[in-house]
Structure 1
Amino acid sequence: MTQPLDMNQRIRKNAEALSNALEHHMLASFAPDARKELRLFSAGEAAELLGISASFLRKLHFDGRIADVHTSPGGRRHYSAEDLIAIRQTLEAGAKTPGAYLKGRRAEDKVQVLSFLNFKGGSGKTTSSIHTAQRLALKGYRVLAVDIDPQASLTSLFGYRPEYDFLDSGTIYDAIRYVDPVPLSQVIQKTYFSGIDLAPAGLMLQEFEHETPQALLNNIQPPFFARMAAVLQEVEDDYDVILFDCPPQLGYLTMSALCASTGVIITVVPNMLDVASMSQFLQMSADLLDVVHNAGAKMEFDFLRFLINRYETNDAPQQQVVAFLRQLFGKEVMTAHMLKSTAISDAGLTQQTVYEVERSQFHRNTYDRAVDSLNQVNDEIETLLQTAWGR
């Protein structure tokens, strides 16, 4: 007769089986080296990202102002992210107005630090944050993505395996921990996506939640709410925008990110259960922010916006909830909303985003609707960043 497994043995066995299966999936998806590579972009996509017409892009090639790029046997040009950066620099050098093509921060601008958060899991924080990071990078911004969720979904989407790559060290925890912290530059990873660096997460991040109460008792400085801002100062000159993907809880990690932020995006799924949960989240946030403010934290946001996520245009109850939120919060609800799309969810099956997958892999209309929705959201966020810089 088979002996029953102890609960801890059963859980460990399941964890090992799942980990092996995920490793196999990664190897199958990104062979031969199990690392991701960014696809090439069509001439139409390149022109849209550069903010020029397709005909002007062709003329740049014809006049020899920009280098040749990969050309298919049919004569179609395809552009890498590195190509886009080089073209953008060429265009900027000849522009009459500074910043016409390189729209990142200038010497007098402060780095923009943006937190994506909500108290409820499944509200699209990670999906929103990675698509925003990628869209901004493709438009020429220097982006640092900081994953502060111990579940490390954002880290996984960048092609890492947190349970292997960062099991004991190498995460943002190493930079903010209370004992022997390391410089943030030592944990930042280059990614396959040109223009984006990553400060990864892993299960070790949970130790920050456990260690902070004792650190408060021992008055270890800087306190938890100032540690993230302190470590960002070391690297902020290297970036235009820093994005936090926050955990679905209002713990010390989230509070530390909020205290380092200049802008906040609260993701909202438009149904009454999620809105009720958000109400509790906002009340708890206000109470806790009062506490850290009284303890000396500085919290000055350039903007706070609610992003409607997983929106279904034909869902009448969702439309009512959105109307309710717009009536309640006015302009703080973003004009653009992120559609619920099979293109977004299907891309996630191979740990990719909509910006990474080829249009040919999906029904054309489904893909185009998803991309259009994401572009509108992220371009509205870009406008908020530009406005914060006084432009």
Structure 2
Amino acid sequence: MQPSLALQDDQEHLPSLLATDAKELSYQLQQHQAKIFPPLSQKTIRTFSPAEAAAFIGIGEGYLRQVAADGHGPDPLANGRRLYSATDMDRIRRVLDERNGTPKYVPARRPGEKLQIVSVMNFKGGSGKTTTAAHLAQFMALRGYRVLAVDLDPQASLSALFGHQPEFDVGEGETIYGAIRYEEPRPIADIVRATYTPNLHLIPGNLELMEFEHETPKAMASGTAETMFFARIGEVLTEIESLYDVVVIDCPPQLGFLTMSALCAATSVLITVHPQMLDVMSMSQFLTMTSELMSVVEKAGGRTSYDWMRYLVTRFEPNDGPQSQMTGFMRAIFGNRMLHNAMVKSTAVADAGVTKQTLYEVERSQFTRGTYDRALESLNLVNGEIEAHIRSTWGRK
């Protein structure tokens, strides 16, 4: 006997309740956005100290001062100090390469070097996936690479971090779904957006991405799809391949058709994991399911071989004994498939996220110096290690 579906007096209608809460939350978020960034304002990337700029360019601070004194840097401030924008750093790279007569400091791909597509994934929330993807994309852009960030997560946190609020700034067909949908796809070049960080472009996300999960079974059943679902992201990225050196994909937190397509498009995979028992147990199931699904995709012709695959420990607290033990446990199992460096948990990263900023955007003066410096050092070590893997794939040191 079926239970009665009639709403009792002491019960709440969940669809109506959720719709009301969603509407109010969306309105309040819009008000918060307007308060932080007034309607006509534009997000900007901050300027960098000589030490920071020298590190991004890849030269000594003394040499940078000499280059700037020769007229190739920004004008000094009233106190005689120079601060460097991302554009300044790009200009100095070009000047140095012109002096040397060889492409050393401008890191763009050279003939024979293939586009690097890094898919960042895990299907458990709180693993630091989006934080990792955002900081990696921005770091690579500040290092001078031409970077495309792709937000495949319907929650679109990556888009929000880069200044594109999914509810208000991203319209129909303006996510990658617009380019990979089965009916009337758009050219992917029409969807790519510039960001306030030079060298960094974005394909934003929003809830529209879920349509791919719904439409793919229909297309497979009807046999109308010209390209299998797992090949669609890789196929559209080839249209703009020559414009970029690195693509960073923030995958959705589930093993659906979008994630499978991102994995088949990728040249490398980064799996984030929080070093606690429940998270590691969850990852065990995640790895099993991914392996089984990828085996099916491989039999259908999908690409399943990568230049490298690494695990990244995120939100790591060095003084937490159980976390250190769990990290050691994973290192014993995975060996060199784990990145040597871990992403340290920091209030600086969390506080920056409140104003939808990355750690490369916020001013150091907003935080306790030690807190900021430790967080930034951790980010730079992780991102530098990933950059080294990319350069190694190209045959560079």
Shared fold by TM > 0.5?
yes
Q: 1:32 to 1:164 in 2, by over 3 A?
A: closer
User: Does 8-17 or 79-88 show the bigger shift?
Assistant: 8-17
Distance 1:374 1:365 in 2: 14
SS at match of 2:253: coil
CA contact (8 A) 2:343 2:382 kept: yes
CA contact (8 A) 2:137 2:248 kept: yes
* Identity among equivalent pairs (%): 50
Residue of structure 2 equivalent to 1:142: 146
1:307 partnered with 2:291? no
How far 1:99 sits from its partner (Å)? Answer: 3.6
CA contact (8 A) 1:144 1:243 kept: yes
How far 1:167 sits from its partner (Å)? Answer: 4.0
Match of 2:255 among 210, 228, 250: 250
CA contact (8 A) 2:213 2:256 kept: yes
What is the total number of aligned residue pairs between the two structures?
387
1:285 partnered with 2:290? yes
Distance 1:161 1:365 in 2: 32
How far 1:104 sits from its partner (Å)? Answer: 2.7
Match of 1:12 among 12, 19, 24: 19
1:176 partnered with 2:180? yes
SS at match of 1:44: helix
Distance 2:14 2:379 in 1: 43
CA contact (8 A) 1:260 1:299 kept: no
Residue of structure 1 equivalent to 2:68: 61
CA contact (8 A) 1:27 1:33 kept: no
- 1:313-371 CA distance string (max 9 Å, x none): 00111111111111101000100100000000000000001111000000000000000
How far 1:8 sits from its partner (Å)? Answer: 3.4
Residue of structure 2 equivalent to 1:84: 89
1:317 partnered with 2:337? no
SS at match of 2:83: strand
SS at match of 2:153: coil
1:27 partnered with 2:34? yes
Residue of structure 2 equivalent to 1:49: 56
SS at match of 1:149: coil
1:338 partnered with 2:343? yes
SS at match of 2:202: strand
CA contact (8 A) 1:117 1:266 kept: yes
CA contact (8 A) 1:167 1:203 kept: no
Distance 2:388 2:285 in 1: 29
Q: 1:70 to 1:344 in 2, by over 3 A?
A: farther
User: Does 298-307 or 29-38 show the bigger shift?
Assistant: 29-38
Distance 1:99 1:135 in 2: 20
SS at match of 1:198: strand
1:133 partnered with 2:133? no
Please report the TM-score for the alignment, with normalisation by the length of structure 2: 0.94
Distance 2:41 2:28 in 1: 14
For residue 161 of structure 1, what is the amino acid of its counterpart?
Answer: Q
User: Does 311-320 or 8-17 show the bigger shift?
Assistant: 8-17
Match of 1:206 among 207, 210, 213: 210
Distance 2:31 2:97 in 1: 44
RMSD after superposition: 1.6
Distance 1:32 1:287 in 2: 47
User: Does 10-19 or 363-372 show the bigger shift?
Assistant: 10-19
For residue 327 of structure 1, what is the amino acid of its counterpart?
Answer: A
SS at match of 1:140: coil
CA contact (8 A) 2:90 2:106 kept: no
SS at match of 1:250: coil
Residue of structure 2 equivalent to 1:115: 119
For residue 162 of structure 2, what is the amino acid of its counterpart?
Answer: F
Distance 1:368 1:213 in 2: 48
| Residue pairs, 1:236-247, within 5 angstroms | 236-247=241-252
CA contact (8 A) 1:143 1:240 kept: yes
1:355 partnered with 2:355? no
Structure 1 runs not aligned, ≥5 long: none
SS at match of 2:100: coil
- 1:34-83 CA distance string (max 9 Å, x none): 4311111112211111111222111112223x14x253322211111111
For residue 388 of structure 1, what is the amino acid of its counterpart?
Answer: T
1:38 partnered with 2:42? no
Q: 1:384 to 1:372 in 2, by over 3 A?
A: same
For residue 207 of structure 2, what is the amino acid of its counterpart?
Answer: L
1:100 partnered with 2:104? yes
For residue 44 of structure 2, what is the amino acid of its counterpart?
Answer: E
CA contact (8 A) 2:161 2:356 kept: yes
For residue 363 of structure 1, what is the amino acid of its counterpart?
Answer: T
Match of 2:376 among 351, 371, 378: 371
Structure 2 runs not aligned, ≥5 long: 1-9
Residue of structure 1 equivalent to 2:167: 163
How far 1:9 sits from its partner (Å)? Answer: 3.5
| Residue pairs, 1:184-223, within 5 angstroms | 184-219=188-223, 220-223=225-228
SS at match of 2:118: strand
SS at match of 2:239: coil
